[in-house]
Amino acid sequence: MNENLEELNRAYVRAVQESDTGWFEEHLAPDFLNTNPDGSLVERAGFLAQIARPAGVKNLECHDVRIRKMGDFAIIHAQTRYVKGDGQPGKGRYTDIWARKDGRWRCVAAHVTRG
């Protein structure tokens, strides 16, 4: 696979919106950790369980994407905008950390905030 980080970022956001656990099964590192907006930390299995449930937001979009690549390691920072379940606009930020091993990028950690 020769996916670039911009494509992976777009696909990650799409997979969150669509509850696409299959995409995450393929792209998360075995030791993946996620920090949720409430401050809780979940391992890969817990994250996949969260993703399997409907997103709870609509029209999820990323903006102000900044990709910092350092060899076989990369950090992606971005802002999100979305519509909450009550119809109100929402926004947040995320940081995803990627590592390339055997020529393939895998997300090893993520941190999400929502406002």
Q: Which pLDDT belongs to residue 1?
A: 40
> The pTM is what?
0.91
Q: Mean pLDDT for the chain?
A: 94
Provide the Cα torsion 7, 9, 12, 17; round to 10°: -100
pLDDT of residue 3: 66
Distance CA(106)–CA(115), nearest Å, equals 27
Topology of domain 5-114, per CATH? Nuclear Transport Factor 2; Chain: A, (3.10.450)
Q: How far is CA 109 from CA 30, 31, 67, 75, 80, in A?
A: 11, 8, 15, 10, 17
18: which DSSP letter?
A: T
pLDDT band at 2 (very low <50, low <70, confident <90, very high): very low
Average pLDDT estimate for 2-17: 91
Quickly state the pLDDT bin for 73 (edges 50, 70, 90). Answer: very high
| Predicted local distance difference test score (pLDDT) of residue 30 | 97
Residue-range domain boundaries for the chain: 5-114
For the record, the structure tokens of 45 come out as 């299995």
Q: pLDDT, tens digit, for every residue of 26-70? A: 999 999 999 999 999 999 999 999 999 988 889 999 999 999 999
